[in-house]
């Protein structure tokens, strides 16, 4: 009982911190892998402590259920770290909102243009200076005079597309009807005004 309790006390907080870090910063393959390993370890500890507690520890201790309950509570808390991570990530984005808005304004005014025509279809914008951790900037001019600008975060996680998107167009705009590349728009979360965070 003592060893498993010590293992939970070590793995639990590390898993929680890794979950918060992974959710609040640029997605990194190594930290994502470590987070998965620690979460899997925590699940294994939950199963082991519940089984051992029921079969063996309850014969010698009234607190036989405590390790498994603590383990379960940590796992539940880890589930909600995504909301804490989103909050931290949004605050960081808002601090640099001026940089993002400057690119949007330049694209809208015509000072920045796409590498290939991007009327009603998103293409890469030729941006000399991008915000930190941004790999590519995509944009499209809409038929109602609005614009869509997408900032793709530079992540090393395979097949992951995540970043920020500015949707400066109306409901009846052509930009609502054309697929936005390179992300599939599976999950979009509002941040502030016409700014959203996306991931697939």
- Domain ranges in the chain are 2-88, 96-199
Q: How far apart are CA 77 and CA 89, in angstroms?
A: 18
Q: Strands of 162-168's sheet, edge to edge?
A: 123-124, 134-141, 147-153, 162-168, 195-199, 187-192
User: Which residues contact residue 43 at a Cβ distance below 8 angstroms, ignoring those fewer than 6 apart?
Assistant: 75
Structure confidence at residue 196 (pLDDT): 92
Structure confidence at residue 183 (pLDDT): 46
- Residue 191, helix vs strand vs coil: strand
What is the pTM assigned to this prediction? 0.79
Overall average pLDDT of the 143-157 stretch: 88
Chain centroid offset of residue 161 CA: 10
Overall average pLDDT of the 126-142 stretch: 88
**Which H or E run contains 171?**
none
**Bridge-based pairing state of the strands 123-124 and 134-141:** antiparallel
What proportion of the chain, given as a percentage, has pLDDT over 90?
18
Residue 104 has pLDDT above 90, yes or no: yes
User: Residue 149: which region, alpha, beta or left (left: phi > 0; alpha: psi -120 to 50)?
Assistant: beta
What proportion of the chain, given as a percentage, has pLDDT over 70?
95
Environment class of 174 (CB within 10 Å of its CB; exposed 0-12, middle 13-18, buried 19+): middle
Q: How far apart are CA 29 and CA 101, in angstroms?
A: 29
pLDDT digits (tens, 9 = 90+) for 33-85: 888 899 999 999 989 888 888 887 777 878 788 888 888 998 898 888 888 88
pLDDT digits (tens, 9 = 90+) for 1-43: 778 888 888 888 888 888 888 887 788 888 888 888 999 999 9
Q: How far apart are CA 150 and CA 167, in angstroms?
A: 9
Residue 185 has pLDDT above 60, yes or no: no
Nearest to 46 by CA among 20, 19, 7, 85: 7
| Stronger pLDDT, 144 or 40, i.e. the higher one | 40
């Amino acid at each position: 009982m003592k060893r498993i309790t010590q293992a939970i006390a070590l793995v639990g907080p590390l898993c929680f911190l890794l979950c918060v870090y992974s959710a609040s910063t640029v997605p990194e393959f190594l930290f994502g892998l470590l987070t998965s390993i620690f979460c899997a370890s925590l699940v294994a500890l939950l199963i082991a402590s519940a089984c051992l507690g029921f079969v063996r520890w309850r014969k010698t201790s009234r607190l036989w259920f405590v390790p498994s309950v603590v383990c379960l509570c940590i796992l539940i808390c880890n589930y909600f770290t995504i909301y804490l991570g989103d909050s931290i990530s949004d605050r960081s984005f808002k601090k640099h909102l001026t940089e993002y808005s400057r690119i949007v304004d330049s694209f809208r005014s015509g000072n920045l243009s796409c590498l290939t025509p991007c009327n009603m279809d998103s293409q890469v914008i030729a941006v000399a200076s991008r915000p930190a951790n941004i790999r590519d900037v995509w944009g499209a001019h809409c038929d109602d005079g609005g614009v869509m600008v997408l900032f793709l975060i530079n992540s090393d996680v395979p097949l992951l597309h995540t970043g920020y998107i500015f949707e400066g167009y109306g409901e009846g705009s052509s930009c609502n009807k054309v697929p936005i590349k390179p992300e599939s728009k599976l999950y979009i979360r509002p941040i502030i005004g016409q700014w959203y965070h996306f991931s697939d």
